[in-house]
A and B are shown apart, each in its own frame.
Chain A
Amino acid sequence: MSPAPAARSGEQVPPIAEAAHITKRYGETVALNDAGITIRPGETHALVGRNGAGKSTLVSILTGLQAPDEGEVRFGGDASPRLADRDAWRERVACVYQKSTIIPELTVAENLFLNRHDRGGLKLISWQTLRRKAAELLDTWSVDVDVRRPAGELDVEQRQFVEIARALSFGARFIILDEPTAQLDGAAIARLFTRIRTLQEQGVTFLFISHHLQEIYEICDMVTVFRDARHILTTTVAELPHAELVAAMAGEATGLQEPSTRQAVPAAAPVLLGVRGLSAGDVYREVDFDVRAGEIVGLAGAGGSGKTEVAETVAGLRAADSGTVEVDGRRPRPGSVPSALAAGVGFVPRDRHQQGFVPMMSIADNATMTIPERLGGGGFISNRRRDGLAAKMIDNLAIKTPGPELPVMGLSGGNQQKVVMARALANDPRLLVLITPTAGVDVRSKEFLLGKVEEIADAGTGVVIASDELDDLRLCDRLLVMFQGRIVAEMAAGWHDHEVVAAMEGVDLDA
């Protein structure tokens, strides 16, 4: 095991970066609550936590994009520069984000030296010098990319290396990698790790953020766990068994988990959804599962596991490369939402703001969007019939509104999600597909929505819930866990949180 570099260099050396007692609020939400992290020179430090743990907020505070409400950031023992002094921040810390910060139309060389081009006589840019210096820079850090290529032509791996080299060229020796492996294949990940180790020898310190715990054991010295906006623990990776790490991320069982009151689905219940051999490129492979009438099946998985895409394929939002989806004995045309609707699929999409509703249209318009044929004949819509239907839905789902004519954007998050649910239920679906149905919803609405799902299942509808929120998945009769595009585990109701989290993160608890 690699010793913690702190021990090598002695405790006197100040941490290269330190955030202490950071609190950050966005309105009502507390993104960080008296949390902190200390990163010593030369180590590769992992930051892990489930969605909403506060990782992204910490990164934006550590890179000077946001100021904390309380607490302070120090670099090498000194106070952090002013927020406006971008150059000073860039000399201390750099972050390679998942979202690219290169300009695709410009060449690699120009991206490396943007706004600090080399200039010759008359203050004109000397492209030759620029290219030479860019090539030298990439050579120094052993990045094998032609600097004349437009940066947009680079693949994710090359782009990351270029961004790392650019960060180093500013003088920063502390680099944050925000989920660098999320879009890479296995071989590229191995090359990235080799690169990280080489740079580490050359004195570069990394903060490594990843959803894949296995990678942390492979590459990191230290690990810090955040949960629910708080700092949970910091320790050397070598001293932390897998199970404890997962437990730290998942948290203790919070209170009593209500025992499932659901009746077992009779074995004779008809199969409503049959998914066979579904594959789509790297996104998901060979996915097989059934959902019976009255059954609630969960699709669990971290971001990028393919669970969302499988659910979207069932709903007709995307088409698979191969394999079949059979709904209630029919095969809707792949990639066709109308065909899926006609087959009896109701759908709550991933992001309600993007796919769930039209914010400026009324509740009535939004809720009845999937059933224009019931609102009148010949392509015309009867407002009376529409509002009548909508009023019933508002009643049924307890949407808090003065009336059906209110634009959806005037509602709270929970009520907006109820409108999306109403839209999904409008065509009396035989199969209901929900993706992260309670994201950004208050606790009461959450309970209500999940209760509604249960009620619908009891009435004989098949339900698929794709989510990484354990709370969404508790009511499932069966849970299918996806990892890197495949179903890796199937669990009956009554699973333990840490089992599911471990499977979602691709960790073997017995290792």
Chain B
Amino acid sequence: MPDTKTAESPPTGARPPGGGGLRAGRIPIARLRDFALIPAVIVIAIVGQIVNPIFLQGDNLINILQTMSEISLLVLAQTVILVTGKMDLSLESTFGLAPGIAAWLTVAVGSGAGLGLLSGGWSIPITLAVGALIGAVNALFIVRFGLNGFIVTLGMLIVLRGLLTGISGGQTFFNLPESMLYLGSTLWFGVPVSIFLCLALFIVGIVILGFTRFGRALYAIGGNLDAARAAGIRTDRVLWIALISASLLAALGGLLLSGRLASVAAAQGDGAIFTVFAAAVIGGVSLNGGKGTMFGAFTGILLLYMIQNVLTLAGVPAQWIEALNGAIILIALVLSRLTGGKAQE
């Protein structure tokens, strides 16, 4: 038992100050993890170049970036949600339905299922509005009513897909208004706008997730919801914003694809969600939330599309690409498990 408190306790400064010497100049391991896929990307680039010298030519690289630009927005959106520890399966249906409704309302009567109710200029606002609305419905179910995100968005996936089939009669919308085509088909300096847009959005995503309180709140919520709430984060509001932005991004991605293909098929986006999840997880985003970066997710989808491109260039028959894709996803997961050291969550 201490007789006097002063005699026993060392002065405050007695302990060495926080190990400052050790800290200097060490690259945190967490940083390195962000770049985990870069070696793989380089290896694939070399393999691609050996398989077919076309691979590293500008046209081919632009081709890869353009074909992945639309779906990469889904990866961007999904990453935002996964970081909070939730998931949104319905993004792939939003990807089809949002531009689908815009086409339905603006395409002239007589051309497929178009109603021709509104002028072409409305198409982009409608696409985005539909996206935001779907996000709000998801948020209502998941955040407000506390329902399980997996089941809610699975239901939404089916409902939204059915709506698109319903309004289109299962057919494809053609003769889209000019404004719908612009983002997906215009070139700036010889490079499609969608590539600029996709890269710009990823940079914004990296900044928001890494350097804003909102972005860090997403991680805090995914890591420990109670602790986030205790730190004064308005968790519900953050989740609402995350879910709505994600659907908005999915709608934008759909718009890009519709613009590139000059059509909206009833099956637009069908099955894309599996690639999206695979890309995010390969890119180091945890399905349990709280872990992963936007840059990692980008390298994930980039890697998948590069591999696909190499397979095509190698002359692998189209019928086999699906099976190979699935195998590649599994191999990539095993590799990231081995390099990451920890069990996949």
Contacts and interface: CB of A to CB of B under 8 A. Distances in A.
Same complex: yes
Contact of A124 (B23, B211, B233): B211
A147 B23 CA distance: 9
A124 B207 contact: yes
Given A110-B216, A218-B2, 18 more contacts: A1-B3, A86-B232, A87-B232, A100-B227, A114-B216, A114-B220, A115-B220, A117-B216, A124-B207, A135-B18, A135-B20, A142-B13, A143-B18, A146-B23, A197-B8, A198-B9, A198-B10, A201-B5
A139 interface: yes
Contacts of A139: 17-18
A123 B5 CA distance: 45
Interface of A: 1-2, 86-87, 100-107, 110, 114-117, 119, 123-125, 127, 135, 138-139, 142-148, 150, 194, 197-198, 200-202, 217-218
A105 B18 contact: no
Contacts of A100: 227
B213 A117 contact: yes
Contacts of B232: 86-87, 115-116
Residue from B10, B13, B219, B231 whose CB has the most chain A CB atoms within 10 Å: B231
Nearest to B291: A105
A125 B30 CA distance: 17
B237 interface: no
A142 B18 CA distance: 7
Nearest to B225: A103
A195 B84 CA distance: 36
B228 interface: yes
A115 B18 contact: no
Contact of B28 (A1, A116, A148): A148
Interface in B97-128: none
Given A115-B217, A115-B232, A197-B9, A105 B23 contact: no
Residue from A114, A117, A147, A201 whose CB has the most chain B CB atoms within 10 Å: A114
Interface residues of B, number: 44
A125 B213 contact: yes
A384 to B, nearest CB: 37
B223 interface: yes
A1 B22 CA distance: 41
Contacts of B16: 144
A106 B219 contact: yes
B220 A106 contact: yes
Contact of A105 (B2, B26, B219): B219
Interface in B2-49: 2-6, 8-10, 12-20, 22-23, 26, 28, 30
B13 to A, nearest CB: 8
Interface string B204-247: 00010011110011011011101110111100000000000000
23 contacts: A1-B3, A2-B3, A100-B227, A103-B227, A103-B290, A104-B223, A105-B222, A107-B30, A114-B220, A114-B227, A114-B228, A115-B216, A115-B233, A116-B232, A117-B213, A124-B211, A135-B23, A142-B14, A142-B15, A145-B18, A198-B9, A198-B12, A201-B6
B223 A197 contact: no
A324 B12 CA distance: 49
A217 B23 CA distance: 39
Given A117-B216, A142-B15, A201 B22 contact: no
A436 to B, nearest CB: 27
Given A117-B213, A125-B211, A197 B5 contact: yes
A309 B217 CA distance: 39
B207 A101 contact: no
B343 interface: no
Contact of A144 (B4, B19, B207): B19
Nearest to A125: B211
B323 interface: no
B318 interface: no
Contacts of B10: 194, 198
A148 B30 CA distance: 9
B18 A119 contact: no
Given A1-B1, A117-B213, A125-B211, A148 B23 contact: yes
Question: 8 closest pairs, A vs B, by CB?
Answer: A103-B223, A105-B290, A197-B9, A124-B211, A114-B231, A105-B223, A142-B15, A103-B224
A214 to B, nearest CB: 10
A101 B224 CA distance: 8
Contacts of A2: 2-5
Given A145-B18, A146-B22, A194 B220 contact: no
Interface string B278-297: 00000000000011000000
Contacts of B222: 105
B281 to A, nearest CB: 16
Contacts of A124: 207, 211-212
B5 A115 contact: no
Contacts of B227: 100-103, 114
A115 B223 contact: no
Nearest to A217: B1
Residue from A102, A103, A127 whose CB has the most chain B CB atoms within 10 Å: A103
B242 to A, nearest CB: 16
Contacts of B211: 124-125, 127
Contacts of A1: 1, 3
A25 to B, nearest CB: 24
Given A117-B213, A139-B18, A146-B22, A101 B9 contact: no
Residue from A86, A115, A144 whose CB has the most chain B CB atoms within 10 Å: A115
B2 to A, nearest CB: 6
A461 B4 CA distance: 56
B224 A104 contact: yes
Contacts of B1: 1, 217-218
B220 A197 contact: no
B230 A103 contact: no
Contacts of A115: 213, 216-217, 220, 228, 231-233
A228 B212 CA distance: 49
Given A119-B213, A124-B207, A198-B12, A86 B230 contact: yes
Contacts of A135: 18, 20, 23
Interface string B117-146: 000000000000000000000000000000
Given A104-B224, A217-B1, A144 B219 contact: no
A356 B120 CA distance: 64
Nearest to B28: A148
Residue from B4, B9, B232 whose CB has the most chain A CB atoms within 10 Å: B9
Residue from B6, B30, B207 whose CB has the most chain A CB atoms within 10 Å: B30
A138 B3 CA distance: 29
Residue from B13, B207, B213, B222 whose CB has the most chain A CB atoms within 10 Å: B213
Contacts of B216: 106, 110, 114-115, 117, 125
A201 B16 CA distance: 19
A135 B9 CA distance: 23
Given A102-B227, A201-B5, A144 B220 contact: no
Contacts of A218: 1-2
A140 B249 CA distance: 45
Contacts of A150: 30
